[in-house]
Structure 1
């Protein structure tokens, strides 16, 4: 029996997790991640995030129903399971696969096929085109799955960062699976299926299953070089199924990443009230000075992160220096240029120092997106008093939330996502910032001049 609401979807996913723990089954790996996706989608209902909450909940129900059906087929040893899902479930007992491979084997058929089918069921015929924007918003949430997993599993899989060696680009193409390609494939499939009768839809779905099943086989066996790296990663991974399920299920709700090609454009009046505009052009502008503190929360996670050796040493020196000398001073000058770029640019020149001793200098351009949330940060950074020896240039995306008081940064130089929370005093003359990931925390208290 299919769920009737998103709450019932959540209840069913929780029951699958319980079953997985009782049977020590790796089915719970993907179900844990799926539960977090569903909880994130539910948290956005009623907030104005989606164009049509009722339709979106219907999409979520149809999407989940297809997953629940294959789980029941697996539990009942039903041979009629779709080909791509059969590959995933047949690999459940394969001890040679790493955690991320099991997750990708679930994501592959569910996003490539089930998402497109669910969209066509939700909005058949020409109505499918009205679903496009909300479909993309769901995709923005799905886009955060892989980077979130990579940042959260380092304790269970300390060599997981080696995946970068067999990826075209981390978070996008890992072990022959591209999240962007999968989401684009799903929308094309939805467009193809929407005008068709159910029997004709089924013919196409079965045809697509063959190709997606072949991709699943490549996830299992990516070739000699990839398999060699995966064997090394697997050798030190935690093997306790319940511990892995609990870790995957213990994270915060997923924050959607910026899509570079996102074509949402707010009108000028709405843009003035948008999160990225509010923070950079209203709250943060001006000259700020105050205290800065940086600490490494987990040295093992930091050394296991996908960062160059040089940057690990720089982070080590900064962490040790701050531990010895205490808080440093920071100066930041943010200059808004609302008429530059697509929706304005904000320049930030800042320096972190202890007396005459420079720890960090950065000149940053924040290119604001007309969608009201996204930002592209173009940063030229220098480390230490001999900064000419340690120069870096980094361009990375960010998404601004909660009317400018929360941000998600994906900083390539640091190999991870950082979540920033900003508390602004009522007179807007002081900002308390906390920038944090699973292995480091930076804290600033800034006062405007």
Structure 2
């Protein structure tokens, strides 16, 4: 991720905004895995990897033939490349595509082969791990705002100060709702 972000930043490619946000979220989920915060760290790690594969596949498809890219990703990438699209919009379009499109497939890829063999307790544990990511995202929002959004859009510093914790709460709730 970091290599792609650096390449895009060097080329002034605004798609770096979403990927930089995604990098922050991924780093925090990896830290939570390492910190023993999940019921099944190996499963969450596999999910995280599969989830990333969907993003990078869509990116490769877009770069090779934008018309062959899933519509949600085509829209996100097209809008990210337009300099009139606000930084926050670029990021939210990427988050929306990744959660509402890619996450469904990544979860299905991992759960479908094992679902019938999972006990109700293990199914609940999978769901709890999935939901725990919402908490990690929630505690990452402020970092994304400070380290990503403010860097790409310095005016957002003012918005952050004016809204206090309200903007983080709204963003966290929005993403949690998308993931449910």
Q: What TM-score do you get using the length of structure 1 for normalisation? A: 0.34
1:112–1:183: 8 Å Cα contact kept in structure 2? no
Equivalence for 1:122? 110
Which structure shows the bigger proportion of residues in helix conformation? 2
How far, CA to CA, are the matches of 2:102 and 2:172 in structure 1?
A: 14
Deviations, residues 245-286 of structure 1 (Å, cap 9, x unaligned): xxxxxxxxxxxxxxxxxxxxxxxxxxxxxxxxxxxxxxxxxx
Matches of 1:116 and 1:186, distance apart in 2: 9
5 Å matches for 1:62-211? Answer: 62-124=50-112, 125=115, 127=118, 128-152=123-147, 153-154=149-150, 157-160=153-156, 161-162=158-159, 169-173=166-170, 179-187=172-180
* Post-superposition offset of 1:164: 8.9
Greater relative contact order structure (CA < 8 Å, 6+ sep): 2
Distance 2:152 2:77 in 1: 22
Give 1:87 deviation, angstroms: 1.0
Q: How big is the shift at 1:104?
A: 1.0
TM-score by length of 2: 0.78
- Aligned-pair CA distance for 1:158: 4.0
Q: How far has the Cα of 1:16 moved from its partner? A: 1.7
What is the distance in 1 between the residues matched to 2:20 and 2:82? 19
Could you say if the C-alpha distance between residues 34 and 185 of structure 1 is closer, same or farther in structure 2, counting changes exceeding 3 Å? closer
Shift in Å at residue 179 of structure 1? 4.2
> How big is the shift at 1:110?
1.0
| Aligned-partner SS, 2:80 | coil
Which of the pair is proportionally richer in strand?
A: 1
Deviation at 1:20, TM superposition (A): 1.2
Q: Superposition pairs for residues 6-405 of structure 1, below 5 Å?
A: 13-124=1-112, 125=115, 127=118, 128-152=123-147, 153-154=149-150, 157-160=153-156, 161-162=158-159, 169-173=166-170, 179-187=172-180
Deviations 1:166-186 (A, max 9, x none): 9xx52244xxxx543443343
Q: Specify the structure having the higher radius of gyration (Cα).
A: 1
Aligned length: 169
Query: Are residues 53 and 75 of structure 1, via their aligned partners in 2, closer, same or farther at CA, if it must alter by over 3 Å?
Result: same
Give the C-alpha shift of residue 90 in structure 1: 0.7
Alpha carbons 2:39, 2:125 under 8 Å: kept = no
In structure 2, list runs of 5 or more residues that go unmatched. Answer: none
Structure 1 residue 58 displacement after superposition: 0.6
State the Cα RMSD in Å.
2.7
Conserved? CA contact 1:147–1:171, under 8 Å: yes
Q: Is the 8 A contact 1:111 1:183 kept in 2?
A: no
Whether the 8 Å CA contact 1:17–1:28 is kept in 2: the answer is yes
